[in-house]
Amino acid sequence: MARIFNFSAGPAALPEAVLKQAADELLDWHGSGQSVMEMSHRGKEYMGIHAQAEADLRDLLGIPANYKVLFLQGGATLQFEMIPMNLFAGKPSADFVHTGEWAKKAIKAAKAFGKANIVASSEDGSFTYAPAQKDWKLDKDAAYVHYTGNETIGGVEFHWTPETGNVPLVCDMSSNILSKPIDVSKYGLIYAGAQKNIGPAGLTIVIIRDDLIGKGVPTPQTMMDYKTHAENDSMYNTPPTYGIYIAGLVFQWLKQQGGLAAIEKQNIAKAKMLYDCIDSSSFYNNPVRKEDRSRMNVPFTLKDAALDEEFLKGAKAKGMVQLKGHRSVGGMRASIYNAMPVAGVAALVEYMKEFEARHGK
């Protein structure tokens, strides 16, 4: 069976090479006579897989030694609550940059734990741009500053790293982590659900600077306290072992691709193909300010929404699925994470041109 091109925003496509390796190792991992799924998380084999995944992630992102990598569960959504629980640390407020659907959810959740100040927002432009640093009205006494690195639904991405002085910078990187090199030392905490650009759903990665651990006031419940997970190497309870194993294979695949600088180059090229197609036509439209367009999630509309169904049907017939836009935005959305091959984007662009030729004018 031929594999389809899956443009889903998440759970999303995984590299074919990773899936093949996982299939080969499914029944018998490295001669152990068992599947990774069946291994004790305290056993020597799994401990090795776990440690290697962390080491490879550290290597890829250049994570400094004074940061912990936590393999958690509960998705980015649980982090919307764990972060304020742990990081407010007795301070009255934290600063938030409001850029769309995901920022909004993070802000709403934080309000249960303290004051969430919106220090910059693109609401005035229907969330079609990333507010410039000079417009952020930061409070130097804030507990932390939170922003959404890539708005998966709106297709808006920060292509620069905010400066927040001594106030810890917190970023939701769920949909663009590992898509480009970043300077981890600029952040207090980075978090991401795995199912977009890392691996299967069920694993959440948190990268947190040491000094921010164990400062929750009041002390969070055991499972909600980063300290518990940091002190136990993410093994306080059973971690999502199979998800961590697959993520580990993805990290190795990324290294084989040449690391994050090489992947970024490819992501820029893929995104350019798609945006060029949209911009060179009057049939397709993307509303996001050019310099803030996401390289991972490309929303676009057709000139006539009545053609949406036919567009989707025709795409499916050509082996391209999950192009329907988020229900809150409508139109189309092509998610083109690391694992989407250039050939997939090329096929989509070719189909878009052909569809326009048939229905345009």
Ligand X SMILES: *Cc1c(COP(=O)(O)O)cnc(C)c1O
Nearest distance in Å: CB 102, ligand X: 4
Give the closest residue to 145 by CA, choosing from 183, 112, 188: 188
In the annotation, is 304 catalytic?
no
Residues with Cβ < 8 Å from 34, sequence gap 6 or more? 28
Judged by CB under 6 A, does residue 96 bind ligand X? no
3-state secondary structure 150-186: EECCCCEECCCCCCCCCCCEEEECCCCCCCCCCCHHH
Q: Which stretch binds ligand X (CB under 6 A): 34-42, 73-81, 279-287, 300-308?
A: 73-81
Judged by CB under 6 A, does residue 99 bind ligand X? no
In the annotation, is 160 catalytic?
no
In the bound state with ligand X, the residue whose beta carbon lies nearer, of 46 and 294, is 294
Nearest distance in Å: CB 34, ligand X: 29
Residues with Cβ < 8 Å from 331, sequence gap 6 or more? 299, 300, 301, 302, 305, 308, 325
Distance (Å, rounded) from C-alpha 142 to C-alpha 122?
21
Q: Which stretch binds ligand X (CB under 6 A): 18-26, 69-77, 216-224, 234-242?
A: 69-77
Judged by CB under 6 A, does residue 127 bind ligand X? no
- One of 86, 174, 294, 338 touching ligand X (CB under 6 A): 174
Distance (Å, rounded) from C-alpha 57 to C-alpha 42?
21
Judged by CB under 6 A, does residue 152 bind ligand X? yes
Judged by CB under 6 A, does residue 102 bind ligand X? yes
Question: Which residue's Cβ lies closest to ligand X?
Answer: 75
Residue type (1 letter), 79: Q
Judged by CB under 6 A, does residue 131 bind ligand X? no
User: How far lies 80's CA from each of 85, 107, 112, 335, in Å?
Assistant: 9, 8, 11, 23
Judged by CB under 6 A, does residue 56 bind ligand X? no
**Of residues 104, 196, 225, 253, which has the active-site annotation?**
196
In the bound state with ligand X, the residue whose beta carbon lies nearer, of 164 and 175, is 175
The phi-psi region of residue 118 (left if phi > 0; otherwise alpha if psi is between -120 and 50; otherwise beta) is beta
**Of residues 95, 102, 180, 253, which has the active-site annotation?**
102
Nearest distance in Å: CB 91, ligand X: 24
Residues with Cβ < 8 Å from 298, sequence gap 6 or more? 155, 271, 274, 275, 278, 286, 333, 334, 335, 336
Q: CB neighbours (10 Å) of residue 173?
A: 24
Judged by CB under 6 A, does residue 264 bind ligand X? no
DSSP 218-238: SPPPGGG-HHHHHHTTT-SS-
Q: Which stretch binds ligand X (CB under 6 A): 62-70, 87-95, 156-164, 170-178?
A: 170-178
Q: What is the DSSP letter of 275?
A: H
In the bound state with ligand X, the residue whose beta carbon lies nearer, of 148 and 228, is 148
Judged by CB under 6 A, does residue 197 bind ligand X? no
Judged by CB under 6 A, does residue 100 bind ligand X? no
In the annotation, is 172 catalytic?
yes
Judged by CB under 6 A, does residue 220 bind ligand X? no
**Of residues 172, 253, 270, 292, which has the active-site annotation?**
172
User: How far lies 61's CA from each of 55, 78, 222, 251, 252, in Å?
Assistant: 10, 23, 29, 10, 13
End-to-end CA distance of the chain: 37
Residues with Cβ < 8 Å from 206, sequence gap 6 or more? 69, 70, 72, 79, 189, 190, 191, 226, 229
Judged by CB under 6 A, does residue 69 bind ligand X? no
Judged by CB under 6 A, does residue 193 bind ligand X? yes
Nearest distance in Å: CB 194, ligand X: 8
- One of 70, 76, 142, 323 touching ligand X (CB under 6 A): 76
In the bound state with ligand X, the residue whose beta carbon lies nearer, of 155 and 248, is 155
In the bound state with ligand X, the residue whose beta carbon lies nearer, of 75 and 325, is 75
Distance (Å, rounded) from C-alpha 272 to C-alpha 12?
20
The residues carrying an active-site annotation are 102, 172, 196
Residues engaged in binding ligand X (CB under 6 A): 10, 75-77, 102, 148, 152, 172, 174-175, 193, 196
